[in-house]
Structures are given as C-alpha cells and as structure tokens.
Structure 1
Amino acid sequence: MTQPTPDARNPLGETGHRVRCNVKLIRSARQLSIQKLSELTAQSGRRIPPLGISRLESGKRRIDVDDLVALASALGVKPADLLAEPLCRDCSGMPPAGFTCNTCGIGTPGA
C-alpha cells in the first residue's frame, strides 16, 4: 500500500503560498539562480539545496522557521517580508489551478 505524500496530509496553506510566491519574486527580481540562492543560504548558516528551493517555489515543499530565516537573510529581506501579502497584485501568488501568472510567473502546484 502506498503512503500518502506529506502534501496530501498537510497541504500548503495561505501563508505557505505567500512565502513561496515572495521567495520566487524576490529571487527573480534580484536575478539570482536557484543554485546561487542555495549558496547564499549556506552562507547564512543553513544550506537549502537547489532542489529544495525549486520544490519550495513550486509549492511541493513546506518551509520551517529556520529555512524562512535563512532565505530572508540570503535574499536581503526580513522574514516578515516573506510572510507578507504576495508582491504580485495580479494573482496574489495564487493563480487558478493549472495556470501560471503572466506577471510573476508563479504557477499553482500540479500545474
């Protein structure tokens, strides 16, 4: 019997969507690759591998407090900035299922 994925038991909530949207928007605005952001998180004391960042941005990975602080430090923002309302005013970080926002490039999980 197959075990359910962690996302199925504990889906990403509104705050998680805010964080993933803001991480991707800030990373893109600063023209940082996922690899470079991974390196910067390591410099802040908590390395998040590139696959982890990719999964976080796509909504397939949850984020804990230590990751939040490391990402904020690596991106040069406060942790509260990552928790704030999404920076994209068009989709609020949550485009309809199966679609990607033309403004910020965020796509919903499973899209």
Structure 2
Amino acid sequence: MSDETRPKTQITDLAGRNVAANVRRIREAHGWSTYDLARKLKEAGRPISPSAVAKVEREERRVDAGDLVALSVVLNVNPSALLLPRDDSPTTIVDLMPGKHTDGGEVRMTASRLWEWADGEVQLFSAPKAEDDFQAQREFIQNARPPRRGLREMEALLRQYRLKDEEGHTDGPSVD
C-alpha cells in the first residue's frame, strides 16, 4: 500500500491527544521548531523526523513508550506532563478510558485524582468496602512503588491506621 492510499492515523484516546497538545505546548515554550526538537531527539539517540514530530502534534502519529521517554527527557519534563491534561482541578472530570473498569464502572475521575494517581500518591480505585481499604492500599504500595519508597509509604499507611484506631475508628484492621 503506498503512502497516498494509506488512511491517516487519527489519535482518539485521551493520552494520545494529551501527548500531542503537550509536546507542542512545551516545544513552543522552549522556542523550538519541530526541526529543533527532531535534532535534539536525534542527538539523544531516539531519532524522530521533523515530519513525524509534526504528525505527533497533529494527532496523526502514535507515541510509543520509548518515544514518550525520549520526548520527556529532551523536553525536560516527567512523562506525566506529556500524558495528562494540563488541568488538575478537583472539579474537572476526566474520562480516562472509553471502556469500563473490570468492576463495570466508568474509568473517570477528577483531574486532581488523576494527577495524584500518575504521581504514585494514590491508587486509581478505592476498595468498595472500608474494611478492605487497608489491604487495597497495601497492595497498591507493594505493586506500584519501588521497595525503598514503598517501605516509607507503608510506614505512613500504618501510622495513619494506628491514629484511626487511637481515635476510636474501627473501620480498618488493627495494625498492632
């Protein structure tokens, strides 16, 4: 199939649209052209042509994980700054994915919660029952955080539940 007959890629997912807008915004904030960004990516060892950079910004080219890391490094931002909307308002609702979560619910949340999740501060979904919340938070820390950070965060989680117990709340497990 020639390039002339190949249908154009059109990015429709939230993350892809965010990457497109954020790459353009940050590139322009640096005062760089698409040629400048492409040159810097090539120098960094991840060549992406100027036309491919323009396609990313027009939502006509997908960015894979390696591209995302390279763009983040060259633009000097964390990957979340490219993946997420610029908004972190607690009142803005974000549809993270078009489908359903495994529990059947919508995959939507406030922009503020989305940033907290992306920064590794909270799990995306809370446990449905309060008594399961400690276990869910423990599993999140164990699976999503590196061991050293996880240990510090687990200690903080235990302190939080210990304080609840001392205040007479019985909605969580005993940590003694």
What is the TM-score normalised by the length of structure 1?
0.68
Q: Offset at 1:12?
A: 2.9
Judging changes above 3 Å, is the alpha-carbon distance between structure 1 residues 33 and 6 closer, same or farther for their aligned structure 2 residues? Answer: closer
Q: Which residue of 1 aligns with 2:34?
A: 34
Aligned residue number for residue 20 of structure 1? 20
Partner of 1:86: 86
Question: Helix, strand or coil for the counterpart of 1:7?
Answer: coil
Name the residue aligned to 2:146. Answer: none
> TM-score when scaled to structure 2?
0.44
Q: How does 1:1-111 map to 2 (within 5 A)?
A: 5=7, 7=9, 11-86=11-86
Asked if 2 retains the 8 angstrom alpha-carbon contact of 1:55 and 1:61, the reply is yes
**Percentage identity across paired residues of the two chains:** 32
CA-CA distance at 1:4 after TM superposition: 6.1
What is the CA-CA distance between 1:74 and the residue it aligns to?
1.0
The one-letter code matched in structure 2 to 1:5 is P
Runs in 1 of length 4+ with deviation above 6 angstroms? none
Q: Choose 1 or 2 for highest CA Rg.
A: 2
Q: Quick one: structure 1 residues 34 and 4, their matched pair in 2 at CA, closer, same or farther if it must change by over 3 Å?
A: closer
Cα distance in 2, alignment partners of residues 77 and 61 from structure 1: 20
Report the Cα offset of residue 43 of structure 1. 1.9
Quick one: distance in 2 between partners of 1:47 and 1:59?
A: 19
User: After the TM superposition, which of the residue ranges 76-85 and 47-56 deviates more from structure 2?
Assistant: 76-85
Q: Which runs of 5+ in 1 are unaligned?
A: 88-111
Unaligned runs of 5+ in 2: 88-176
Equivalent residue letter for 1:7: T
Judging by fraction of residues, say which structure has more strand.
2
> What is the CA RMSD across the aligned residues, in angstroms?
2.2
Structure possessing the higher relative contact order (Cα contacts under 8 Å, 6 or more residues apart): 1
**Quick one: which amino acid aligns to residue 30 of structure 2?**
R
Cα distance between partner residues in 2 of 1:4 and 1:66: 24
Deviations 1:38-75 (A, max 9, x none): 01111221011000000110011111111111111111
